[in-house]
Structure 1
Amino acid sequence: MMRALVLTGPGTAEVREVPEPVAAAGQVVVDVERAGVCGTDVELFTGEMSYLHTGVASYPLRPGHEWSGTVTATGPGVDESWLGRRVTGDTMIGCGRCRRCHGGRHHVCPERHELGIRDGLPGALAERLAFPAAYLHALPDGLDAVTGALVEPAGNAHRCVEAAALTAGERLLVLGTGTIGLLTAMLARGRGWEVHLLAEDPGFARSLGFDRTWRRGELPDLPWDAVVDASNSPVLPGLAVELVDPGRRVVYIGLAGSPSVIDTREVVLKDVTAVGILGASAGLAPAIAAFAAGTMDPRSLVAATVGLDEAAGVLAGRRPAGASAAPKILIDPAR
């Protein structure tokens, strides 16, 4: 048996003893070293997550999709060279048979698993994890477990930066200073873009060198070449369309707990391209490469690392004792 966090209903979670995973054909078993808590996990805990209402996710549920760990077992058909390697993995697990999977869009496969989010594949807020080897990503020797657990949000951020489609010297506005918003800003700064952020509290982003971080009433009247909404606000998606310069792009990665209203007349009359981002799949390898090259270090975004017994409190919104102002809480399941 092993310990794992189990969401048992809206607002309730507990650490349980569950059967140890066994590597089936095509799978590995990973000893989880770090797992991140993100907004999706919080929405699954509170019951707000839309998947709980559409029936693709249900309680009891074992969350956790931002993770790193070491491979300790391989199943039939898996190359044993994976053994002992530190890895992370793609959250989106496609069926491998449909036209979307064959077209390189496994992250929107209608029958996909989403690790720790949709039913079918228990997540990484546990001591060990069974995971399909085809979706593993090896971490270079220089990357520690903390950095490895930040690859998944950085992959999402990479996709946001690619979708914004700017060039050096152009101006990006990021709405929201959570983990993905700040990683997007870091990647954009590395490309020579002029990066601005909108925040409720600018202090932490400014401590990372983002001096152009503004509260809503302070936002300068500038032409924004692209806007990335990385917030959980139902209001900011509409504001993004209002703010972006005509003929440019708005990128949506944040999700609110209630529907947002966007004036499509403004989208049309400003000739705005709106791009939605679901999942990090195509951004995982570039994120690992950016971390390995040292062009950005995401570890400053970690506020605290706690044990599995404290995970339910984190999901309920409690900040661990001694946590910094950074947005990310990591779980060490071995604690």
Structure 2
Amino acid sequence: MRAFVITGPRRAEVREVEDPSPAPGEVVVDVERAGVCGTDMEFFSGEMAYLHSGDARYPIRIGHEWSGTVSATGDGVDPAWLGRRVTGDTMLGCGRCHRCAAGRQHLCADRYEIGIRGGWPGALAERLPVPVQALQPLPEGVDPTLGALVEPGGNALRAVRGAALAAGERLLVLGPGTIGLLVGLIAAAEGAEVHLLGLPGPGLEFARTLGFAHVWSAGTLPGLRFDAVVDASNAAALPARALEVVEPGRRVVYIGLAGEPSLVDTRVLALKDVTAVGVLSASGGLAGTVELYASGAVDPRPLVAATVGLGEAAAVLAGDRDPSWGHAPKIHINPSLS
């Protein structure tokens, strides 16, 4: 089968690789769509932290936001999975440790991460092996594009849950990228008043096209009461800013990762009696995201600027974009395209 392989910093190619065969407890999925995210771009550039910690190494096959159809099942897997449309969890715990036993497999010290950690191959390929317990079925109304947006949506849903807002309360989202916009769309669907903060330019203008009325830059942010703040940015200074502007006694959710350490003054955290919540992965948020998409309460498809083939993946990872795609943040790969 064809797969996209990164062989070193800014070096990649589409290769013919061995077809996956499902091990016991696994299925093979024919991939229909795979999303490209910031983590994938860091693997391509060589900046991804796992490359330096030893949790990942070249050559690597990336892709952890995906949807497809089960085409083969291994021993011990119900054959009813054959032909089902699915997406799945990125985090694959060992299944034996106390964290896995407590339902926190996404924090397992020995976990694989599909397309990211431990050498598990990713979804920028025609086929993908996946443990059956990681699968999330997709109903008829959730098309391949929506299916590949379930994983980032699950991250966003967990962030919204972490903010613990009631309908009518005010949320500030820092960073109008894919995750930040998904946080805003989900929170708005649940009745929150959503405000977005970002850099002036195309990103904020695109956010307005999604119906967000309260869109600000650093110089225009009004002095309102923010009942929760979600930092979905990659700016090292914004975690502290989130703490500054949140209402005392409420919550700040940290889901964005900066390229350098972010400093937060814990004296402010304590004196404002603020709860800080960290979010790692979509684990626990996949089913709820599918429900939101299937019901039509949230439609994130406008976030996808274009869908291209494996042969164009390297250019996408390098940041090259066709101007005709516009300013939507997400690019999808269809492995069946040349």
Q: Which TM-score applies when normalising by structure 1?
A: 0.98
Q: Distance in 1 between matches of 2:162 and 2:331?
A: 27
Which residue of 1 is the match for residue 92 of structure 2? 93
1:217 aligns to what SS in structure 2?
A: coil
Q: Which runs of 5+ in 1 are unaligned?
A: none
- The Cα of 1:120 is off from its aligned counterpart by 2.9
Q: How does 1:97-112 map to 2 (within 5 A)?
A: 97-112=96-111
Which residue of 2 is the match for residue 253 of structure 1? 255
Q: Distance in 1 between matches of 2:156 and 2:105?
A: 19
Once the two structures are overlaid, the 10-residue window that deviates more, 324-333 or 257-266, is 257-266
Aligned partner letter, 1:221? G
Contact 1:304–1:322 (8 Å) recurs in 2: no
> Are 2:331 and 1:332 equivalent residues in the alignment?
no
Q: Distance in 2 between matches of 1:320 and 1:258?
A: 30
Which residue of 2 is the match for residue 25 of structure 1? 24
CA displacement 1:52-91 (0-9 Å, x = unmatched): 1211111111100000001111111111111111100000
Q: How does 1:59-138 map to 2 (within 5 A)?
A: 59-138=58-137
Aligned partner letter, 1:207? T
Tell me the number of residue pairs that the alignment of Structure 1 and Structure 2 aligns.
Answer: 334
1:313 aligns to what SS in structure 2?
A: helix
Which residue of 1 is the match for residue 167 of structure 2? 168
Aligned partner letter, 2:239? P
Q: Distance in 1 between matches of 2:198 and 2:113?
A: 29
Q: How does 1:1-335 map to 2 (within 5 A)?
A: 2-200=1-199, 201=201, 202-320=204-322, 322-335=324-337
2:284 aligns to what SS in structure 1?
A: helix
2:219 aligns to what SS in structure 1?
A: helix
- The Cα of 1:321 is off from its aligned counterpart by 5.2
Q: Distance in 2 between matches of 1:19 and 1:259?
A: 40
- The Cα of 1:107 is off from its aligned counterpart by 0.6
Q: Distance in 2 between matches of 1:237 and 1:318?
A: 29
- The Cα of 1:192 is off from its aligned counterpart by 1.0
- The Cα of 1:320 is off from its aligned counterpart by 3.3
Contact 1:314–1:320 (8 Å) recurs in 2: no
Q: Distance in 1 between matches of 2:244 and 2:51?
A: 32
Q: Distance in 2 between matches of 1:318 and 1:248?
A: 40
Q: Distance in 1 between matches of 2:150 and 2:6?
A: 24
Q: Distance in 2 between matches of 1:18 and 1:34?
A: 19
Q: Which TM-score applies when normalising by structure 2?
A: 0.97
Q: Distance in 2 between matches of 1:9 and 1:177?
A: 30
Q: Distance in 2 between matches of 1:320 and 1:64?
A: 21
Q: Distance in 2 between matches of 1:146 and 1:156?
A: 17
Q: Distance in 2 between matches of 1:108 and 1:10?
A: 28
Contact 1:66–1:151 (8 Å) recurs in 2: yes
Q: Distance in 2 between matches of 1:259 and 1:50?
A: 12
- The Cα of 1:324 is off from its aligned counterpart by 2.2
Aligned-residue Cα RMSD (Å) equals: 1.0
Of all paired residues, the percent bearing the same amino acid is: 65
Once the two structures are overlaid, the 10-residue window that deviates more, 287-296 or 313-322, is 313-322
Contact 2:248–2:272 (8 Å) recurs in 1: yes
Contact 2:60–2:119 (8 Å) recurs in 1: no
CA displacement 1:283-321 (0-9 Å, x = unmatched): 000000111111111111100000001111111111135
Q: Distance in 2 between matches of 1:263 and 1:60?
A: 40
Aligned partner letter, 1:286? G
Q: Distance in 2 between matches of 1:320 and 1:137?
A: 33
Q: Distance in 1 between matches of 2:66 and 2:133?
A: 16
CA displacement 1:240-291 (0-9 Å, x = unmatched): 1111111111101111112111112211221111111000010000000111
Q: Distance in 2 between matches of 1:255 and 1:267?
A: 19
Contact 1:304–1:320 (8 Å) recurs in 2: no
